[in-house]
């Protein structure tokens, strides 16, 4: 564990080597992400609700997805480099080292500039909570925390799932970005607005709706079953197929060489 902590610290030190550049990168993340916030605001200048959700409730949904994504990408976004590591044979060097393979791939590419997204999500959350019209209780606060935490884990799993395909394709499958970067964009609104079929896919295949739509419905309506409060925890089962695919890829891996 000391090795991983030291590697984490070295990565932070390297990114902070040029502090002004680091600050500009964080600021860029913050400003760019706010364009999505303004797009939501402009839409609600013309309408009162989207699929029965008010402006404040959609902002709450927006904030949850943004916070979850910023954490999940900061931790797992570096896995986007994994196809290159497999293609060039760099992964061979990692296989010769003792320790967890995923951590060795992930920690050197931990992106601290994602703090810009995190701050933006926190600000939007601060705006959304008083405007949501939700009668906040202890159970609903816990639900909100579970949505963010489990959502972050789910986004990390999606990055791991995408990286695992590199074992079989030797390259990145760009269409899988629809479930990572794409989910950040269309997750600005409750997933029900995209239709029943999309909601089914995001419930039973890629369980993004379990950390967004259903818990949000529970908090907003107050009449949903209390089990909706714990649906974000159920989404953690997605770890199993993601990890299984990664382990299968390792078992069938043959060095690509440089």
pLDDT in tens, 51-97: 889 999 999 999 999 899 988 888 887 787 788 888 877 888 888 77
Alpha carbons 158 and 31: distance in angstroms, whole number: 25
Average pLDDT over residues 21-29: 77
The pTM of this model reads 0.88
Token pair recorded at residue 159: 């990055």
Instruction: Catalogue the long-range contacts made by 251-258 (C-beta closer than 8 Å, 24 or more residues apart).
Output: 252/167, 252/168, 253/86, 253/91, 253/95, 253/167, 255/89, 255/92, 256/86, 256/87, 256/88, 256/89, 256/170, 257/89, 258/88, 258/89
- To which residue do tokens 């770890």 refer? 239
Least confident piece of the model among 104-108, 134-138, 202-206, 245-249:
104-108
Residue 222: the pLDDT is 67
- What secondary structure letter does DSSP report for 124? H
| pLDDT at 251 > cutoff 70 | yes
Average pLDDT across the chain, whole number: 83
Q: Is the dihedral of CA 142, 144, 145, 146 positive or negative?
A: positive
Residue 223: the pLDDT is 57
Alpha carbons 251 and 245: distance in angstroms, whole number: 10
Confidence of residue 99 (pLDDT cuts 50, 70, 90): confident
Confidence of residue 250 (pLDDT cuts 50, 70, 90): confident
Confidence of residue 7 (pLDDT cuts 50, 70, 90): low
Cβ atoms of 211 and 68 within 8 Å: the answer is yes
| pLDDT at 107 > cutoff 90 | no
Secondary structure (DSSP) of 3-48 = HHHHHHHHHHHHHTSSHHHHHHHHHHHHHHHHHHHHHHHHHHTT-S
Percent above pLDDT 70 for the chain: 92
Q: By C-alpha distance, which of 125, 122, 126, 143 is closest to 220?
A: 143
Alpha carbons 66 and 105: distance in angstroms, whole number: 24
pLDDT in tens, 202-242: 999 999 999 999 999 888 876 556 778 889 999 999 999 99
Cβ atoms of 170 and 83 within 8 Å: the answer is yes
Residue 146: the pLDDT is 94
Confidence of residue 8 (pLDDT cuts 50, 70, 90): low
Average pLDDT over residues 108-123: 80
């Amino acid at each position: 564990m000391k090795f991983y902590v030291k590697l984490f610290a070295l990565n932070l030190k390297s990114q902070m080597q040029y502090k002004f550049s680091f600050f500009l990168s964080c600021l860029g993340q913050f400003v760019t992400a706010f364009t999505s916030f303004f797009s939501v605001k402009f839409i609600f200048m013309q309408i009162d609700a989207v699929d029965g959700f008010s402006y404040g409730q959609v902002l709450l949904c927006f904030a949850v997805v943004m916070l979850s994504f910023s954490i999940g990408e900061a931790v797992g976004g570096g896995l986007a480099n994994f196809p290159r590591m497999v293609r060039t044979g760099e992964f061979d060097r990692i296989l010769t080292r003792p320790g967890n393979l995923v951590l060795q791939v992930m920690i050197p590419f931990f992106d601290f500039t994602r703090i810009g997204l995190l701050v933006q999500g926190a600000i939007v959350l601060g705006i959304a909570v008083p405007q949501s019209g939700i009668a906040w209780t202890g159970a609903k606060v816990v639900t909100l925390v579970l949505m963010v935490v489990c959502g972050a884990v789910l986004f990390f799993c999606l990055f791991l799932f995408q990286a695992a395909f590199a074992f079989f394709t030797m390259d990145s499958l760009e269409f899988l970005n629809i479930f990572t970067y794409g989910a950040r964009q269309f997750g600005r609104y409750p997933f029900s607005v995209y239709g029943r079929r999309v909601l089914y896919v995001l419930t039973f295949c890629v369980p993004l709706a379990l950390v967004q739509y259903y818990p949000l419905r529970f908090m907003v309506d107050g009449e949903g079953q209390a089990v909706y409060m714990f649906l974000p925890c159920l989404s953690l089962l997605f770890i199993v197929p993601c990890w299984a695919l990664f382990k299968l890829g390792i078992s069938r891996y043959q060095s690509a060489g440089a």
